[in-house]
């Protein structure tokens, strides 16, 4: 599954892990301002904000997993299997609502909205449709995090309608629905970054038996609920300076706390989820950083190094294999 998080130092960062058993061939993809989006129901957008993010490009159309626009607004879609539900067709009651196909939700928001506040207004007048991109690419069951430097929200389309939640921790995983993820933090109210003190019972003398016992009690399994708790604790306690290298490094450490290693999470016979990639986007500067399962060297793409007034997608295949740097061998 997947985990998304935000992080604020001098600049605002947003990123995610993509945990799955196979890759679709995703690429870092820049959509410039004059690339024409032909939305399934909402018409054409010939000029718009530029985007950068990770996408699977199908027939020259960027199917974004996560992205940020030039105004500093970011968005990520995460699996929400069993709970996501979309409209199959419009009704008479929907005539005043903008219909948006699920697969185009990220670009529909990011091409038009400069902030979460603007996204909220757009969401109040839209209906999310379950129309698939194609027969080969059926509709994914997702929910979404939308964030800027001021606030973060979670959007969930379910059988009982559209839900928009404030996300005060700036973290999202998969299931349960977001209120259940937040409620689980109550189970860890006593967890601290400090060395534990014995409060078990006054009749027992229990002493910490080693250094480094901060965070004692935080879950360590790979379930989505446990990953939410682990990343929320890690992010909210993480300390970083304002420099770019330090901030980016710390962000990768935060999401690295829930890396999935091949062999630990079997989803079917002989198939294992791994962390295919981890991303970190400096939404303030428009720089998209990533690592992959076999390449922990951070790779970066700067959207402002490209012609953002173009009408053609700019694509960078991700670098899957890393290199070992030798100190004493040529």
- Determine the Cα–Cα distance for residues 275 and 273; give it in Å rounded to an integer: 7
The closest alpha carbon to 130, from 142, 120, 121, belongs to: 142
- Whether residue 137 contacts residue 148, with contact meaning beta carbons closer than 8 Å, is answered with no
> Residues 6 or more apart from 35 whose CB is under 8 A from it?
310, 311, 312, 313
The residues that bridge with 13 in the sheet, in sequence order, are 7, 282
- Determine the Cα–Cα distance for residues 196 and 198; give it in Å rounded to an integer: 7
- Determine the Cα–Cα distance for residues 297 and 320; give it in Å rounded to an integer: 10
Here the tokens at position 61 are 């159309």
Name the H helices within 35-148.
Answer: 105-110, 116-123
Coil/strand/helix, residue 108 = helix
Q: How many C-beta atoms surround the C-beta of residue 127 within 10 A? A: 19
Coil/strand/helix, residue 236 = helix
Tokens 């410039």 correspond to what residue? 32
Q: Using CB atoms within 10 A of its CB, is residue 263 exposed (0-12), middle (13-18) or buried (19+)? A: exposed
- 2 part of the active site: yes
Catalytic: which of 2, 152, 280, 281?
A: 2
- Catalogue the active-site residues: 2
């Amino acid at each position: 599954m997947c985990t998304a998080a935000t992080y604020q130092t001098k600049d605002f960062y947003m990123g995610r892990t993509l945990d799955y058993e196979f890759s679709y061939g995703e690429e870092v993809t820049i959509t410039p301002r004059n690339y024409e989006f032909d939305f399934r129901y909402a018409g054409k957008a010939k000029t718009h904000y530029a985007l950068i993010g990770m996408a699977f490009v199908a027939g020259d159309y960027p199917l974004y997993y996560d992205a940020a626009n030039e105004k500093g607004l970011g968005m990520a879609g995460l699996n929400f299997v069993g709970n996501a539900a979309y409209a199959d067709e419009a009704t008479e009651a929907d005539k005043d609502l903008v219909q948006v196909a699920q697969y185009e939700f990220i670009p529909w928001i990011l091409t038009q909205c400069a902030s979460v506040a603007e996204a909220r207004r757009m969401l109040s007048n839209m209906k999310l449709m379950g129309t698939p991109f194609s027969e080969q690419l059926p509709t994914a069951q997702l929910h979404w995090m939308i964030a800027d430097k001021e606030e973060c929200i979670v959007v969930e389309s379910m059988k009982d309608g559209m839900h928009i939640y404030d996300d005060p921790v700036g973290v999202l995983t998969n299931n349960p629905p977001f209120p259940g993820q937040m409620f689980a933090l109550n189970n860890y109210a006593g967890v601290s970054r400090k060395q534990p003190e014995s409060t078990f019972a006054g009749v027992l003398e229990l002493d910490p038996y080693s250094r480094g016992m901060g965070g004692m009690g935080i879950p360590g399994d790979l379930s989505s609920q446990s990953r939410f708790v682990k990343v929320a604790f890690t992010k909210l306690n993480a300390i970083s300076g304002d420099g770019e290298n330090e901030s980016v490094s710390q962000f990768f450490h935060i999401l690295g706390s829930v890396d999935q290693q091949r062999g630990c999470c079997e989803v079917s016979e002989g198939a294992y989820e791994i962390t295919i990639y981890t991303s970190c986007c400096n939404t303030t500067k428009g720089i998209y950083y990533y690592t992959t399962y076999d390449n922990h060297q951070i790779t970066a793409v700067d959207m402002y190094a490209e012609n953002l007034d173009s009408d053609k997608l700019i694509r960078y295949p991700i670098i899957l294999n890393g290199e070992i740097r030798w100190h004493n061998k040529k």
